[in-house]
């Protein structure tokens, strides 16, 4: 079924636009809440991904955050200056650079879920438990479809 067509397409009524706008507002809210810590929206996510063990190298972190290697390197420079992480070259393969959180980085990352929970709960005010669970199931369906479509479009040598 086609939900949109070119003749009547209104970007403000697009699911993609609405999701993107929500993400932007959540990001701004998180950044506002984290301002006293000195973490920006671009910095808290990689810090949290490192803390959660989603990535241990610069390359993995870039992939996890959906950034290129250059922007990831610049962001890590700022996190290192703040004393939140350090890069350690692999002893087995000198091309690989591991990232380790410092004690200050661990402490900062531990507080991030508090902020994320607060912002998301604020934005979901008025939803019932059932509505919240239904919304998440719809978003998961969209994500699953998007990931399937993306995988189908990837060159075979990447699979």
CA nearest neighbour of 31 among 115, 96, 108, 93: 115
Q: In the chain, how many domains are there?
A: 1
What CATH number has the domain bearing residue 82? Answer: 1.10.10.10
Residue range 39-76, pLDDT digits in tens:
988 899 999 999 999 999 888 999 999 899 899 999 99
Cα(71)–Cα(156) distance, integer angstroms: 27
**Whole-angstrom distance, CA of residue 62 vs CA of residue 12:** 31
Q: What domain range is 65 assigned to?
A: 33-115
128 in a domain, yes or no? Answer: no
Is residue 133 in a domain? no
Q: Are 36 and 25 in contact (CB under 8 A)?
A: no
Q: Is residue 151 part of a domain?
A: no
Q: Could you tell me the pTM of the whole model? A: 0.79
């Amino acid at each position: 079924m086609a939900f949109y067509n070119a003749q009547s397409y209104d970007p403000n009524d697009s699911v993609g636009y609405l999701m993107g706008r929500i993400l932007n507002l959540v990001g701004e809210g998180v950044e506002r809440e984290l301002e006293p810590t000195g973490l920006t929206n671009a910095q808290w996510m990689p810090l949290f991904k490192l803390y959660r063990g989603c990535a241990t190298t610069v390359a993995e972190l870039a992939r996890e955050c959906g950034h290129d290697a250059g922007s990831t390197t610049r962001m890590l420079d700022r996190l290192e200056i703040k004393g939140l992480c350090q890069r350690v070259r692999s002893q087995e393969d000198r091309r690989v650079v591991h990232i380790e959180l410092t004690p200050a980085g661990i402490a900062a990352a531990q507080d991030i879920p508090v902020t994320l929970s607060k912002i998301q709960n604020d934005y979901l005010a008025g939803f019932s438990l059932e509505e919240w669970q239904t919304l998440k199931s719809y978003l998961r369906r969209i994500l699953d479809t998007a990931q399937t479509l993306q995988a189908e479009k990837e060159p075979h040598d990447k699979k």
